[in-house]
Structure 1
Amino acid sequence: MRSARGEATRLLSRAAPRKPEDPAAWPVWRRLIPHVLALADHTDPATDTIRMCLLLGRAGEFLEEQGDLPRSIDQLRRAYEGDRRLLGADHPNTLASRNNLAYAYQSAGNLARAIELHEQNLADLLRVLGPDHPNTLTTRNNLAQAYKQSGDLDRAIPLLEQNLADRLRVLGADHPNTLISRNNLATAYKSAGDLARAIELHEQNLADRLRVLGPDHPNTLTTRNNLAQAYRAAGDPVRAIELHEQNLADRLRVLGPDHPNTLNSRNNTASILRAAGDPRRAVELFEPLLADAERALGANHPLAGAIRHNLALARRQLASARRPQA
């Protein structure tokens, strides 16, 4: 006879979609997640099974997608620790769990912890799976992204260039992970001030993602956002505003109003309006956005902090514009 815990784990695992990053799966995950978390809260991690670890790992990925980073990290850490205990440190599932935990720390802005885990994971993946394994390439990409977020472009750009070349060779030009590598390299070039190469890569990537993934795929929307940001940096606010407004409408429709990427599109739209000389309209957009971000993500989320900073800049610019000239 099955135990109640084992039966609950089996039923939830069977119902849980396999791709937590797929928006089509999110309605199912939203119904399941309270039950998964209740199961986790009422069971001892020391008794977790492989099936339980897999369920918690998927739940953690879904929570990370939704911007619920504290609970995401809790589930991903438990999944990783369970996999390491049950399967061993070198098992591919354990290495994948560590990658997912590092990525959640990265999303939460804990870059020191993320880089530590990614560096450890890359060394182990190179040893266990080899340099061309897709998981090795994913971890190298994530480590490079963490370096970029920390401002270390000297380490980030060579890794991203190497990873794009390897993914082109191993996976092919149209593989979604190859398109991710090209996107990430383009954003790094933008951060380094090489706007011509950044725009060229983003334009190529947007065309390819529209063809391969379709206009509503989250990665297509990400590329359009990043191209708009590159246009803005290059001093082309007209094209930047047009793309940001289109992307915001599409993200509202596809992802919903509280998704972190939708909130980020609202932030980028307001920011470009402020930079283009319309601080009044920017303040009007930032004020409700800050309230929504703090409600959906929490006041301490990195995006909420960025919005708060941008609102202060817009208010200062608006006050300066209203001040009588001497």
Structure 2
Amino acid sequence: MKYILTRLAHMLIVLWAVGTILFFMFRLMPGTPLAAFIDNTTTAEQQQALIRQFGLDKSLGEQYWLFITNALQGDLGQSFFFKRPVTDVVMEVLPNTIILTMVSLVVAYVFGTLAGAYLAWHRGRWIEGIGIPLALTTRAAPEFWLGMVMLAVFAFGLGWFPAGGANTSGANFDSEWARIFSLDYLRHLALPAITLAVYLQGLPLLLMRSNMLEVLQEEFITMGRMKGLSNSTILLNHAARNALLPVATAFALGIGSAVGGNVVVETVFSWPGIGRLLVNAVSASDYPLAQGAFLIITFVLIIMNFIADITYHLLDPRVRFAASS
């Protein structure tokens, strides 16, 4: 319990630090949030009214205090561009980002884990000579390049999948669940999810292979072979189980990489998620929206880090929390 309370306190400190950095960073950036509302016909009085409306007439200290106190109450402010609460704007697109992230992660880690175990078991064979360079190449390739290749081949070339968006323009659905589980939504999801999964699968593949190579040298593996156990039993019941622990922990932490990749992938495929929303908010100097999106992403990453620590402890009883030691 002491460990959990300590970690929760650390989480709050990190959130406060990130929020503070974001607040001052966006206000030091060039440009003004009023640019989208001001043209040659806007009078000086109208400009001053806009400044007061957005609270930009207050000092930085006053703006910062309002930002912190409102954030503690769950109020992330009003979007300059949408003129709506930031929380409402973000929550509209957050489900799309969560679905894209989780589908990509599951596909990447299931494939990467199985492929890594297979390559370790067949170490030194031709399949390893092909698989390892291929995994390193996809891991090193930029997400936007992978996305453009996917678009060029499967969208514009073969025409198998839509080129962007989450739904066909004009499509109507009875509910949000009906939209998410519709064939139209899944077809739009396919290319961005595959692109992100291809980028992410390199880490679990290489990690699982490395862990498997270590486990296969252990004495209990040799003992299993001496007992006459089949290769599949040794691989699945003994070697893979012991090699999975770091991969399971990396899965939770991998959400950070997935969210970072989402920003690029969502932009390439015009996927209406929090990553694309963040890019648009920064471009429009929409301080509250950009801050809110970053804070929500940070909160998710911190929670996933916390879950990873707890998961590591539950999967391996030998691990003890630092607080108890």
Q: TM-score normalised to the size of structure 2? A: 0.25
Identify the structure with bigger relative contact order (alpha carbons < 8 Å, sequence gap 6+): 2
Whichever structure has more helix as a proportion of its residues is: 1
Q: TM-score normalised to the size of structure 1? A: 0.25
Instruction: Report which of the two structures shows the higher radius of gyration computed on alpha carbons.
Output: 2
